[in-house]
Amino acid sequence: MRYEFLVETYETERIKVVSVWSEFRDHDLPARPRDGDARGRSVQEQMVHQCVSENLWFVNMLGIDVGAPPLPATETRLEFMKRYAEDSEKRLTALRTKDDVWWESETKFFDLQRSRAWVMVRRIAHTAHHRGQQMAMLRMLGRDLHSNYGPTADTGGLMQNHAPTIYGYPNLNALFDGEAAGGKKTPLPGAAGKAVTERPDKK
């Protein structure tokens, strides 16, 4: 299928969303980028937006309805993760059944007409954009970061220094088991004194 790459990308992107959420702590949910400034979404509001926005795009633009409320009954970190993982898995299953004609057919994108493939690219970019904001929030909160795409300062620093990619968990099943038990992520080695950015601060 010509658009299998979009299905494969969504498959990994949904895991990345849940993985980033697992890096937060329960008491982080009210935190905002700047304390007291409501213009920046809190961690909880980011989770709400991801769940609601993705549901609306899939229902209204792609015609895929998982038949479930987009938000958990109890808005805790673990329940957000479970809700999103369950719903996105159903969306993934539906996407795997679509042929090239479906992907190339036009649908309504707000006040425009675009192909479903075009809409899916924008959806993936939208999700990645907000995930990046949340990873920045983790740094503002002083949290360590496992890999999401590649190495981080906590997995060993820069790729060109051969820093490894280290995920918090090998798969979603292990993630949910670990987080339900209080967190059992893969230990992080740190950078061992190596530069972690391309322009490290000079002392």
Q: Looking at the predicted structure, is the pLDDT value of residue 1 above 90?
A: no
* 148 CB-near residues (< 8 Å, 6+ apart): 16, 19, 20, 131, 135
The mean pLDDT value for 60-74 works out to: 98
Residue-wise pLDDT tens digits, 15-34:
999 999 999 999 999 999 99
Q: Looking at the predicted structure, is the pLDDT value of residue 160 above 70?
A: yes
Q: Is 109 helix (H, G, I), strand (E, B) or coil?
A: strand
Q: Looking at the predicted structure, is the pLDDT value of residue 98 above 80?
A: yes
Quote the percentage of the chain above a pLDDT of 90.
95
pLDDT band at 133 (very low <50, low <70, confident <90, very high): very high
The mean pLDDT value for 44-68 works out to: 98
Q: What average pLDDT does the structure give for the chain?
A: 96
pTM of the model: 0.95
CB hemisphere CA count around 182 (13 angstroms): 0
Identify the pLDDT of residue 203.
59
Judging by DSSP bridges, how do beta strands 112-115 and 106-109 pair with one another?
Answer: antiparallel
∠ CA 157-23-32, rounded to 5°: 105
Q: Looking at the predicted structure, is the pLDDT value of residue 121 above 90?
A: yes
Q: For 59-63, 113-117, 159-163, which range has the lowest pLDDT when averaged over its residues?
A: 159-163
How far is Cα 11 from Cα 89, in angstroms, rounded to an integer?
A: 8
Q: Looking at the predicted structure, is the pLDDT value of residue 193 above 80?
A: yes
Residue 38 vs residues 35, 41, 42, 146: alpha-carbon distances, Å = 8, 7, 8, 28
Quote the percentage of the chain above a pLDDT of 70.
99
Q: Looking at the predicted structure, is the pLDDT value of residue 60 above 80?
A: yes
Domains and CATH numbers, the chain: 4-143 (1.20.120.450), 145-203 (no CATH)
Q: Looking at the predicted structure, is the pLDDT value of residue 183 above 80?
A: yes
Residue-wise pLDDT tens digits, 37-55:
999 999 999 999 999 999 9
